[in-house]
Structure 1
Amino acid sequence: MPPTDRPRDHAGQGAATTVAAHRTRRRLRADRARQLADLLRHQILTGAFQDGSLPHESTLATDYRASRNTVRQALDLLRAEGLVERLPGVGTVVVARKYPHGLDRLMGLAETLREHGRVTNEVRTMGPAPAPAPVADRLHVPAGADVLYIERLRRLNGLPLSLDLTYVPLDIGTALLGADLENTDVFRLLEGITGQRLGHAEITLEAVNADTHSAAVLQAPRGAAVLMLERLTHLADGRPVDLEFIRFRGDRIAMSGLLHRS
């Protein structure tokens, strides 16, 4: 190899090393920004910023021992989630609040969120319908038997929060046909109808993309991520009485719970 080519090779290696180091720094800063966004999101959800404003970027940088660039990236992540907005001359403010929904107690939505405002129900559909096979199996009714089907839009302080699809065995559900579902929680009605307390529920929580119908009802973009809670509730004697598929707007609800190690 000619001697004149060697310095060029060394220069190329040095440039490659510099690029790799730069990429590593960017990745570490992005990781740190996500970590900081997680901490700030928790404070927003728990109401730590009571005046609705976040501290100045320099204060956040000092408090969390982060660079100003990292703080800006973290705030950009929260802005993309719709939680904060930057206002000229004001700073970063909370513009949308997520409400905590506890998963460690068997409660209806209105019972869970009562302290955060008024939950209202819009009954969109209600009536007997043949149970799909999976629903019949979960509710322990004959395949193809009629069940009561209810579709409700739940709002918190006037804003769409969840779309609830509910199936109830018809021998119990018939009594719900004349009930005030717009102002009364279904759980309370079921306990009144059966004369029993609700005992326990099995839940599954997953993130799904909003279909066209759900997106339109929830006033969310089509394909937006929503939290889908599947809950099968049993009476105290073990009978399944309420199968729900609840789609929550992911930008307005946060699931929380208290877990104990057995």
Structure 2
Amino acid sequence: MHDPIPGHGAAWGEGLTRADRARRVAQVLRGQVLHGAFPGGVLPDERALIAEFGATRNTVREALGLLRDEGLVERRRGVGTVVVGRTYRHPLGELSGLAEVLQRHGTVVNEVREAGTVRPPGAVARRLGLAEGEPAVYLERLRRVDGTPLSLDCTYLIPEVGEPLLARGRGALEGQDVFDLIERGVGLPLGRAEVAVQAVVADPATCAVLAMPEGGAVLAVERLTRLADGRPADLEFIHLRGDRLTLHATLDRARGTGTAPSGPA
């Protein structure tokens, strides 16, 4: 149970609506679920949660209902509330491919939905430093982990980088990360990346591809990756299932805000 702030008599959450108190309980429990805090995947029973949060039974049940609606937990007769929605963590402080990270958690499969040479939109061409009318290589892949769709990756690459990737064939595109293919297959070392992440409601087509219910949230990632010599290599638009992936980083205030962190590949 959380003690009152010294000098104040109000208990934690007092003065809030029950919905607000449930949100606060769910917020803490969500973090514990995502960090694997419950051995065996079973949450403490209601009495333990009531004591822990100093909350009423109805508030605790409402909080668990929020997590259930998010697909993180479910109630099982004779067992209790169990974790069912597995999530994966991706570090923000390193330039690594999503498959590189996810291979630590399960079997990663890339389904190539499209691969070929295209005329990129003007905005994309400018970001990649391509001349007007110059082609780019387009690669679209659906990424699954242990059979569960996790991300839809749409990548535009400069010809120098993309054409050798296409020449390696579908097997390489399905079995290896783009970063690994660029560095080992093409022999061009990568340098840094500029990343923007936004939570958005997925469109119906994206929901269908990712096997999500309509209206589900995704993390929309836009990343421009540069070669070691500073030239743009690829521009990616990635939709990650918001209920299956968390982005994390260890931040040092003393280091300031010099270099922007990188995100998933």
TM bucket (normalised to shorter chain) is 0.7 to 0.9
CA–CA distance in structure 2, aligned partners of residues 143 and 225 of structure 1:
35
Larger radius of gyration: 1
Deviations 1:80-120 (A, max 9, x none): 10100112222111111111122111000111222211111
1:35 aligns with 2:24: yes
> Compared with structure 1, are the counterparts of its residues 28 and 96 closer, same or farther at alpha carbon in structure 2 (3 Å cutoff)?
same
* Higher helix residue share: 1
Structure 2: distance between partners of 1:30 and 1:223 = 22
Measured in 2, the distance between the counterparts of 1:95 and 1:208 equals: 23
Aligned residues: 239
Matched with 2:158 is 169
Higher deviation after alignment, 191-200 or 241-250: 191-200
State the partner residue of 1:257.
249
Rounded to whole Å, the distance in 2 between the matches of 1:41 and 1:84 is 10
Q: Is 1:198 paired with 2:190?
A: yes
Aligned partners of 1:200 and 1:234 also within 8 Å? yes
Query: Which of the numbers 118, 133, 143 marks the counterpart of 1:129?
Result: 118
User: What amino acid sits opposite 2:222 in the alignment?
Assistant: E
Verify: 1:78 aligned to 2:70, yes or no: no
RMSD: 1.7
Which residues in structure 2 correspond to 1:148-227 (within 5 Å)?
A: 148-179=137-168, 180-227=172-219
In the alignment, the residues of structure 2 paired with residue 97 and residue 194 of structure 1 have an alpha-carbon distance, to the nearest angstrom, of 35
- On the 8 A contact 2:165/2:186 being kept in 1, the answer is no
Instruction: Give the Å deviation of 1:256.
Output: 1.3
Aligned-residue sequence identity (percent) comes to 54
- The offset of 1:65, in angstroms, is 2.3
Q: Identify unmatched segments of 5+ residues in structure 1.
A: 1-23
CA distance in 1, matches of 2:78, 2:66: 21
1:11 maps to: none
1:19-65, Cα deviation, whole Å (9 max, x unpaired):
xxxxx978433222111111111111111112011010101111222
Q: Could you tell me which of 216, 222, 231 is aligned with 1:230?
A: 222
Ranked by relative contact order (alpha carbons within 8 Å, sequence separation 6 or more), the top structure is 2
Given that 1:101 and 1:112 are in contact with CA atoms closer than 8 Å, whether structure 2 keeps it comes out as yes
Post-superposition CA distance 1:201-250 (Å, at most 9, x none)? 11010112222321221111233221111111111111110111000111
Judge conservation of contact 2:119–2:133 (CA < 8 Å) in 1.
yes
Contact persistence 2:118–2:136 (CA under 8 A)? yes
Q: Do the aligned partners of 2:115 and 2:137 also contact (CA within 8 Å) in 1?
A: yes
Report the counterpart of residue 21 of structure 1 in structure 2.
none
SS where residue 182 of structure 1 aligns? helix
Structure 1 contact 37–74 (Cα < 8 Å) conserved: yes
Match of 2:52 in 1: 63
Task: Report the counterpart of residue 240 of structure 1 in structure 2.
Answer: 232
Tell me the TM-score normalised to structure 1 length: 0.86
Of residues 25-34 and 216-225 in structure 1, the stretch that sits farther from structure 2 once superposed is: 25-34
